[in-house]
């Protein structure tokens, strides 16, 4: 763990010692909004050494001392004694606020609400102000020296680092959109955005990065240009608009999620954000006794495959989708086996839908419904997916040893997505992978050999409700694409 080197004196410098990310986020957002700096740190002991190192710039310690941490009082007292810093303690543990913990200025009981942070912040501001007034009136001479180097007004107002909030970025995008026929240049964008204090340089810098992202994103997909109107990945997000940091890379996702019991496919979410105006596919859930793999090929497409009982690519376990090489279509399908042993490699059929989702072929369980509506939302169609998914020509066992690729009906053209089967993109020649040891037939390899290569990654580990180890979900941050770590 490396503490940010950029730590420096601002109006107030706070060290946030926290292992609770929700908490961290709330606080961070608040502080960002107030233009204060906050640094989070996870390990108490590490934090202590940081405090020692940075004590001259730190003014408040905001800490979430975990109740299981044996030395919690020690730390608090230590901070108090050694550094004479304000301590704000957050804890879910009521008893902490009663006994022990000398030197704690404010207690916050978790979980934390925005309102509480507001109050806290007002409090901290007030304290700081009075402290400042005192110190500036008592140590005038020292201060003056500094002031004088600032020349005259003493109000050079160091250029405020602008924060590209989602709103601002949206304005930025809107401006570009308005300029669609004109030349898109920083000056005009800045004018159209009409944000006070925003300079041409600011916009130029942002534009530079925007274009860079565009280029990278384009490169992700094959040849043809894909219209990324939102390479910054902001539009479809319902996230807190106050959030100041956005993810410049379209396909990154949040951190690893190892929810036990039921996994939700967060990686899909981020994937789908590459499609403007498309609703997020937020929930596809799998039973925990299945394992997942996310594979990437050199074209940066991804898909999700499901292992059956920890055996890779066994009988009838595949579900997933991938971006077609036109960059505008999504292909998805399911591997199905017929009674006579023939394999249907690429269709989605209503009646034996998603056995790997934990449903019996005949069952229309809630999970299936979830899945269906997820796919529906993925495709931007209404929830009546079954009618869409009904194959035009239902595959029958008579298709012996033949790949059945059922073409689906078209979704509304507005979405611009095409149903298609798993056919390889033109000009694509898959490499024959070595047959996996012990597996006579490996249908998934046959179909998806292009995906299953060096980019393959094992997903996070999780436990199911019986304590059985199950492989969970991963994010793109675990993936290597083109041998490049994208994170």
- Which residues would be at the binding site for DNA (CB under 7 A)? 6, 159, 161-164, 183-188, 200-202, 204-209, 211-212, 244-248, 487
Minimum Å gap between C-beta 184 and DNA is 6
Considering beta carbons, is residue 84 or 146 the nearer one to DNA? 146
Considering beta carbons, is residue 192 or 388 the nearer one to DNA? 192
Considering beta carbons, is residue 102 or 487 the nearer one to DNA? 487
Minimum Å gap between C-beta 175 and DNA is 12
Minimum Å gap between C-beta 237 and DNA is 14
Considering beta carbons, is residue 248 or 279 the nearer one to DNA? 248
Minimum Å gap between C-beta 205 and DNA is 4
Minimum Å gap between C-beta 199 and DNA is 7
Minimum Å gap between C-beta 347 and DNA is 40
Pairing state between β 469-471 and 461-463: antiparallel
Considering beta carbons, is residue 120 or 192 the nearer one to DNA? 192
Q: Which residue has the tokens 């490499």?
A: 431
Considering beta carbons, is residue 34 or 162 the nearer one to DNA? 162
Minimum Å gap between C-beta 191 and DNA is 9
Considering beta carbons, is residue 78 or 209 the nearer one to DNA? 209
Minimum Å gap between C-beta 152 and DNA is 20
Q: How far apart are CA 250 and CA 262, in angstroms?
A: 26
Q: How far apart are CA 196 and CA 233, in angstroms?
A: 25
Considering beta carbons, is residue 180 or 183 the nearer one to DNA? 183
Minimum Å gap between C-beta 225 and DNA is 16
Is-contact 32 117, C-beta < 8 A? no
Q: How far apart are CA 221 and CA 239, in angstroms?
A: 27
Q: How far apart are CA 474 and CA 487, in angstroms?
A: 13
SS (H, E, C) the chain: CCCCCCCCCCCCEEEEECCCHHHHHHHHHHHHHCCCEEEEECCHHHHHHHHHHHCCCCCEEEEECCCCCCCHHHHHHHHHHHHCCEEEEEECCHHHHHCCCCCEEEEEECCCCHHHHHHHHHHHHHHHHHHHHHHHHHCHHHHHHHHHHCCCCCCCCCCCCCCCCHHHHHHHHHHHHHCCCCCCCHHHHHHHHCCCCCCHHHHHHHHHHHHHHHHHHHHHCCCCCCCCCCCCCCCCCCCCCCCCCCCCCCCCCCCCCCCCCCEECHHHHHHHCCCCCCCCCCCCEECCCCEEEEEECCCCCEEEEEEECCECCCCCCCEEEEECCCCCCEEEEEEEECCCCCEEEEECCCCCCCHHHCCCCCCCCHHHHHHHHHHHHHHCCCCCHHHHHCCCCCCCCCCCCCCCECCCCCCCCCCCCCEECCCCCCCCCCCCCCCCCCCCCCHHHHHHCCCCCCCCEECCEEECCCCCEEECCCCHHHCEECCEECC
Minimum Å gap between C-beta 426 and DNA is 31
Considering beta carbons, is residue 216 or 328 the nearer one to DNA? 216
Considering beta carbons, is residue 5 or 137 the nearer one to DNA? 5
Considering beta carbons, is residue 186 or 416 the nearer one to DNA? 186
Could you tell me which of 375, 451, 450 has the C-alpha nearest to residue 417? Answer: 375
Considering beta carbons, is residue 205 or 259 the nearer one to DNA? 205
Minimum Å gap between C-beta 187 and DNA is 3
Half-sphere exposure of 274 (CA within 13 A, CB side): 28
Minimum Å gap between C-beta 484 and DNA is 13
């Amino acid at each position: 763990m490396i503490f940010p080197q950029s730590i420096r004196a601002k109006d107030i410098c706070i060290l946030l010692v926290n292992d609770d990310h929700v908490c961290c986020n709330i606080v961070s957002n608040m502080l960002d909004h107030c233009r204060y700096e906050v640094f989070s740190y996870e390990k108490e002991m590490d934090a202590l050494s940081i405090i020692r190192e940075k004590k001259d710039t730190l003014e408040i310690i905001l800490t979430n001392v975990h109740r299981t941490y044996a030395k919690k009082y020690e730390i608090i007292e230590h901070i108090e004694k050694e550094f004479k810093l304000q301590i704000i303690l957050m804890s879910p543990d009521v008893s902490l606020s009663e006994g022990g913990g000398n030197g704690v200025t404010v207690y916050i009981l978790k979980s934390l609400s925005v309102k509480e942070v507001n109050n806290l912040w007002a409090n901290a501001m007030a304290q700081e102000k009075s402290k400042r007034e005192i110190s500036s009136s008592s140590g005038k001479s020292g201060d003056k020296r500094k002031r004088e180097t600032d020349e005259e007004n003493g109000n050079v107002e160091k250029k405020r680092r602008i924060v590209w909030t989602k709103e601002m970025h949206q304005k930025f995008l809107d401006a570009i959109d308005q300029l669609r026929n004109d030349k898109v240049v920083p000056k005009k964008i800045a004018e159209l955005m009409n944000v006070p204090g925003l300079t041409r340089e600011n916009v130029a810098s942002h534009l530079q990065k925007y274009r860079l992202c565009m280029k990278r994103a384009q490169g992700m997909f094959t040849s043809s240009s894909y219209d990324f109107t939102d390479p910054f990945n902001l539009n479809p997000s319902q996230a807190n608009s106050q959030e100041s940091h956005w993810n410049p890379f379209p396909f990154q996702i949040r951190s690893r999620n190892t929810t036990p019991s039921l996994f939700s496919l967060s990686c899909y979410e981020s994937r789908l954000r590459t499609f403007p105006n498309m609703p997020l596919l937020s929930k596809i859930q799998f039973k925990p006794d299945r394992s997942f793999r996310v594979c990437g090929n050199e074209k940066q497409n991804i898909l999700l495959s499901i292992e059956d009982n920890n055996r890779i690519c066994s009988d009838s376990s595949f579900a997933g989708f991938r971006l077609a090489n036109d960059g505008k279509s999504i292909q998805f399908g399911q591997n199905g086996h017929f009674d006579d042993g023939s394999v249907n490699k690429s269709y989605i059929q209503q009646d034996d839908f998603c056995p790997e989702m934990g449903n019996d072929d005949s069952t229309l369980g809630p999970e299936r419904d979830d899945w269906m509506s997820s796919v529906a939302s993925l495709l931007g169609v209404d929830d009546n997916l079954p009618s869409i998914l009904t194959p035009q020509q239902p595959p029958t066992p008579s298709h012996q040893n033949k790949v059945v690729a059922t073409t689906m009906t078209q979704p509304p053209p507005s979405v611009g997505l095409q149903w298609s089967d798993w056919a390889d993109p033109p000009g694509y020649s898959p490499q024959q992978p070595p047959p996996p040891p012990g597996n006579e037939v490996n249908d998934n390899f046959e179909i998806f050999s292009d995906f299953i290569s060096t980019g393959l990654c094992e997903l996070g580990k999780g436990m199911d409700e019986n304590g059985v180890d199950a492989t969970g979900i991963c994010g793109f941050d675990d993936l290597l694409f083109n041998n490049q770590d994208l994170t």
